Structure 1
Amino acid sequence: MLRLSFVIAILSLVSVCIEASVHQYDGEKFVSKGNAFVVHGGSEGIYSSAPELNESYPGGSFIRFEKVIFRRPMEFSNFSSGSIHAVVFEVDDRKTIGGSAYGGQRAVCCTADLAKLGVCKEGEIIHRPSVDNPGWPQVFGTSFGMDMTETILHPKSIQITKTGMYNVYFIHCDQRLKEAAVDGMTVWKNPTGYLPGRMAPLMKFYGFMSLAFVVLGIFWFSQYARFWKEVLPLQNSITVVITLGMFEMALWYYDYAEFNGSGVRPTSTTVWAVTFGAVKRTVSRLIILIVSMGYGVVRPTLGGLTSKVLLLGGTFFVASEVLELIENVGAVSDHSGKARLFLVLPVAIMDAFFIIWIFTSLSSTLNKLQARKLTAKLDIYRKFTNALAVSVILSVGWICYEIHFKSHDAYNEQWRNAWIIPAFWQVLSFSLLCVICALWAPSQNSMRYAYTSDEAEEFEKDETVALIKSSPLASKDVWSPELGLAERGNGNVEEEKTA
């Protein structure tokens, strides 16, 4: 119940702050940054729509300011203020904002020393024209008159003629406007729609993945219907995973398509897509774990391990669901927050625990199958182990690449390639699912891999013998009744082997 309450709390939190390419500001307070007061209005990758730049994205790209209002309390309205500016710049031009006096600390607002040099007016924002991008950065603003509690930033639409990562900041330098706040919205549009540039390729990707799951589903369900009398419990579980995957990919595609058309992310669709994905990942890991333990193939139950497996699965689902909700619901820009890294740790730790437990169980199962010379099951388990090993190696390599990618892209300048990172994990997961489907596809020989009571008895004998052999009483120099019984038991086992 505690976990359920926590998830509901997260859902209720993000449901009231859904923002996307339509960035809404509801009383955002200015924060002191150096010698300036700042509100971050958003950061997104935008593709150019200028035909002279030979861009392959027809349509219009723009950032539009709509009904942006600055407010201050009545008790702080007895003076005429300095300007409150809207600053729009491309990430390559970030050094054109701010300056320093005599090599000192960089400042956004013009200081007395810089004003003496005649390079700016004291109390105003320092900015210089971009050498590579004429007309940028764009700076415009408004100010409070005497006794005014609000002032409106005139509507403005800025055409984007250069592909890049664009930033919007609201900045003022007046110490007396500490209590000022921002209301209104900005609309960001790419040539193909309202999806942020980093996310735009993912709509086509999820369309492709939806088709891939349909093809896999057709193969699997046709085999399932053809040999339904030979179906194993494991194959029923694989059917569930394929069904969840089909729903997940379809929901993600619909989510991105609606987001692209309206500029506002559909909350309910996103939550459902995230939930189906979290359930699919949890069920997939649990299936791999219990298969590695030999469930349904060499043992009928998990015994005392059932509660531990379910506990690990439930905890992983909660952690994964919360992480994905924070990552996808209420995301407002292409600039990812560092605070989200904290939520990655529990998921990463449990993934590592899954991997250790899976390979430990696989090693034990393979040894037992080899000892009993169950060649058909041994062969399929070896292929399964190889596929898992390859996927783990690829995962580790990709994690290293992802760390390198993010650590060397502090300003999201590589935003056009960022979609590849989440896409890789979907492709890897789908590929492993295809391998499992190929290994355990329903067929007329499915029962060759099913659990039989005779094999279970043999496995239990092996486990008993292993426990007896590891007993500290088993010494060549000390005899006891328990040791005599153990030796007799071992003799019986050897006689059975000979027979």
Structure 2
Amino acid sequence: MMAAATTLKALCAVLALVSTALAAVHPYQGEYFYAVSDAFIFRGGREGMIASKSEAVDEWGTVAKGVSNGKSYIRFSNVVFERPKSVANEYGPRDGDTGLVQAVVFDVNDRDRIGYSADGYSRRYCCDKDLVAKTRCYPGRVIVQQNEQGGGDWPWVTDIYFSDNETLAYAVDEAVTIEKTGMYYLWFVVCDPNLAGVTVSGQTTWKNPQGYLPGMMAPNLKFYGLMALAYLVLGFSWFVLYALNWRDVLAIQNCITVVVFLGMVEMATWYFDYTNFNATGFRPYATTLFAVLLGTVRKTVSRMLILVVSMGYGVVRPTLGGLSRRVLALGAAYFTAASALDVMTNVGTIDDLTSSARIILVLPVAVLDAVFILWIFTALSRTLSQLSQRRQGTKLTLYRQYTNALAISVVVSSLWIAYEMYFKMQDSFNEHWQTDYINNAFWHILSFLLLTIICVLWRPTDKATRYAYDADAGDQEIDELLGASAPSSSGDSAGDKKEVEMASASEKVFAIDDEEGGGKMA
């Protein structure tokens, strides 16, 4: 109960930090500008955008109907700026334009064209008389340097004026057509110090040629569709074997069934979440939260499954005894930490921004993963030693194959983590955003492959129960139960007593007391 309460509190705290954005529509609700160098800037969004298809836009700007119409744009809707009334009262009713806010849309590759840096470190964003000759800018406006090789109308800039003594300034409702693939930023910039207290309200809608999914998220739609299909095939194969041998199913196979089922539902939920997001532009909290928590449950149960299999549960020993509490405690801790991280990463996320809070939440998850790995291989070492002393060759071979699979997955994971760190350090501006989805896809694929290996090694058979709980069985019987044939030896009967004695001694060494008895390792 305490673990559940802790998890609930953590989730509530994280939900309070999550952005209130609900869609590919970026809402602004009285947001203040931030002082950046000599300007005041509000960052209205950042997304990877795919270029509009040439056939989607004719010379009059009309587009085909439907969401997947090939048109890519950033649309301004009801964007309003409000300045303090005390500032507006400084002007009269016939003073004309009395304040300026500029909206700038630019590709990340053009970031050096916004503003001016004389030393390569500090950057000025507002033009003054000293910078006119250097940048060809206009005093009192944001500096947008021209591309000497010709850049057309990019970066795109529009002016929004405050008139007379009005407190509100309205941006024109228009759409900026994206004709070049890139990572685009939207900034609202103020260079007048008197407008330091200005706020922005309204919304902008960002749309790609195939729908509303941000560019970095768009590949996830196909990926989760393929993963849902892969889990469906694995689940169907597993459930057929399970149904054919339901009378002899082991407890560990029930755990595997749960993990396979969770994987199927999770992948399907993610696929429909992205499909709905892409089609409507809205990403409801409920659907995303369900997918996130379901995925966290699957990851938690998967890690616990690998751990208890490594302990020999269901094959070497019928119960875990007192260790069950420790396994459950570690699982609860991991679920709490992973839930906080995954909720922060996914729930309410509609653009391609990276949250600083996410970086903080990664640490406890990484520590708990390390605890799982250490405990898994420690348990595997004991299990292998136990099987070796008992001379149960077939089981030993089974666990060696399982150990090799885990070892390979750990090595591959370590190499991938190193690559991810290098990738992030080399791509601080997300210039390689189109391949960013691979970082997340890798972990899903690795998890699926490891689950598939476990399903193959522990597949249901008609003699699985006898195989699992017959601790004193000889190699000949075990081979027979797995469908293999092993030649008999004249020394088998003579060695039975010795093997049984060794098995009994080994059982004492690795025995785990019953849960009610305190649960400790001898």
Structure 1 residues 4, 105: CA separation in 2 closer, same or farther (over 3 Å shift)? closer
Q: Which shifted more, 116-125 or 142-151?
A: 116-125
Where 1:82 maps in the other structure, the secondary structure is strand
- Are the counterparts in 2 of residues 40 and 169 from structure 1 also a CA contact under 8 Å? yes
Name the SS of the counterpart of 1:60 in structure 2: coil
Q: Give me the whole-angstrom Cα distance separating, in 2, the residues matched to 1:8 and 1:278.
A: 16
Displacement of 1:241 after TM fit?
0.3
Q: Are 2:47 and 1:3 aligned?
A: no
Contact 2:6 2:336 (C-alpha < 8 Å) held by counterparts: no
1:44 corresponds to which residue?
47
Q: Deviations over 1:437-494 (max 9, x none)?
A: 0000101231254134658996673375699xxxxxxxxxxxxxxxxxxxxxxxxxxx
Structure 1 residue 75, shift from structure 2 partner: 2.6
8 Å Cα contact 2:212-2:277 kept in structure 1:
yes
Q: How far apart are residue 186 of structure 1 and its match?
A: 0.7
Q: Equivalents in 2 of 1:235, 1:270: separation in Å?
A: 30
| 2:85 aligned residue | 74
Determine which of 363, 367, 390 is the counterpart of 2:381: 363
Equivalent residue of 1:186, what SS? strand
| Whole-Å separation in 2 of the counterparts to 1:407 and 1:110 | 32
**What secondary structure, in the 3-state scheme, does the structure 1 residue paired with 2:14 have?**
helix
2:274 to 256, 267, 276: 256
Partners of 2:351 and 2:309 lie apart in 1 by 41
Query: Which residue is 2:494 aligned to?
Result: none
Give the secondary-structure state (helix, strand or coil) at the position aligned to 2:360. Answer: helix
TM-score normalised by structure 1 residue count? 0.88
Shift of 1:422: 0.8
Most deviating of 100-109 and 227-236: 100-109
- Quick one: which amino acid aligns to residue 43 of structure 1? R
Partner of 2:399: 381
| Cα pair 2:15 2:344 within 8 Å, conserved | no
| Compared CA separation, residues 8 and 101, structure 1 to 2 (3 A) | closer
Larger CA deviation: 389-398 vs 231-240 = 389-398
Cα pair distance change 1:191/1:444, threshold 3 Å: same
Aligned-partner residue type, residue 195 of structure 2:
L
CA distance in 2, matches of 1:287, 1:457: 31
Task: Please give the alpha-carbon distance, in whole angstroms, between the structure 2 residues aligned to 1:4 and 1:195.
Answer: 30
Change (3 A) 1:38 1:276: same
Query: Are 2:164 and 1:146 aligned?
Result: yes
The code of the aligned residue for 2:301 comes to: V
Match of 2:72 in 1: 61
Q: How many residues align?
A: 463
Matched position secondary structure for 1:64: strand
CA distance in 2, matches of 1:444, 1:457: 29
Please say if residues 389 and 502 of structure 2, whose CA atoms lie closer than 8 Å, have aligned partners that are also in contact: no
Moved more, 428-437 or 294-303: 294-303
Matched, 1:26 2:29: yes
What residue in structure 2 maps to residue 17 of structure 1? Answer: 20
Distance apart, 1:70 and its partner CA: 0.5
**Partner in structure 2 of residue 491 of structure 1:** none
User: Is residue 225–residue 271 contact of structure 2 (8 Å, CA) maintained in 1?
Assistant: yes
Change (3 A) 1:461 1:64: same
Aligned partners of 1:111 and 1:122 also within 8 Å: yes
Query: Structure 1 residues 193-202 or 18-27, which shifts more?
Result: 18-27
Correspondences of 1:447-462 after superposition (within 5 Å):
447-452=465-470, 461-462=505-506
Q: Of the candidates 164, 172, 175, which is equivalent to residue 182 of structure 2?
A: 164
Alignment correspondent of 1:182: 200
RMSD value over aligned CA atoms? 2.3
Contact 1:129 1:135 in 2 (8 A): no
The letter of the residue matching 1:8 is C
Corresponding residue number in structure 2 for 1:269: 287
Higher mean Cα deviation, 59-68 or 118-127?
Answer: 118-127
Instruction: Return the match for 1:129 from 146, 151, 158.
Output: 146
Equivalent runs, 1:101-120 vs 2, <5 Å: 105-115=122-132, 119-120=136-137
**Within 1, Cα distance between the matches of 2:467 and 2:402?**
13
Q: Residues 403 and 465 from structure 1, CA distance in 2 versus in 1: closer, same or farther, beyond 3 angstroms?
A: closer
- State the secondary structure of the residue aligned to 2:89: coil
Q: Which amino acid aligns with 1:255?
A: D
Mapped to 2, the partners of 1:457 and 1:47 lie a distance apart of 70
1:144 match: secondary structure? strand
Note the C-alpha offset of 1:72: 2.0
- CA-to-aligned-CA distance 1:409-449 (integer Å, 9 cap, x gap): 11111011111111111111001111000000101231254
1:326–1:458 distance in 2 versus 1, CA, 3 Å: farther
* 1:306 is aligned to 2:317: no
- Point out the more displaced range, 276-285 or 258-267: 258-267
- The one-letter amino acid paired with 1:79 is E
Q: 1:407 aligns with which of 425, 431, 435?
A: 425
In structure 1, stretches of 5+ residues that fail to align are: 468-499
Q: Does 1:390 align with 2:408?
A: yes
Query: Which residue is equivalent to 2:489?
Result: none
Aligned to 1:90: 107
Partner SS for 1:336: coil
In 1, the alpha carbon distance for the partners of 2:191 and 2:374 equals 55
C-alpha distance in 2 between matches for 1:318 and 1:345? 13
Q: How does 1:471-486 map to 2 (within 5 A)?
A: none
For residues 170 and 395 of structure 2, the distance between their equivalents in structure 1, rounded to whole angstroms, comes to 73
Give the letter aligned to residue 10 of structure 1: V
The code of the aligned residue for 2:7 comes to: R
- Separation (CA, whole Å) in 2 of partners of 1:104 and 1:277: 43
Relative to structure 1, the CA distance from residue 101 to residue 301 in structure 2 (aligned partners, 3 Å threshold; closer, same or farther) is closer
| Alignment-derived partner of residue 116 in structure 2 | 99
* 8 Å contact from structure 1 (residues 144, 151) kept in 2: yes
The superposition leaves residues 113-132 of structure 1 with CA deviations (integer Å, 9 ceiling, x where unpaired) of 22476833332111123335
Amino acid in structure 1 at the alignment position of 2:50: Y
Instruction: Give the Å deviation of 1:206.
Output: 0.6
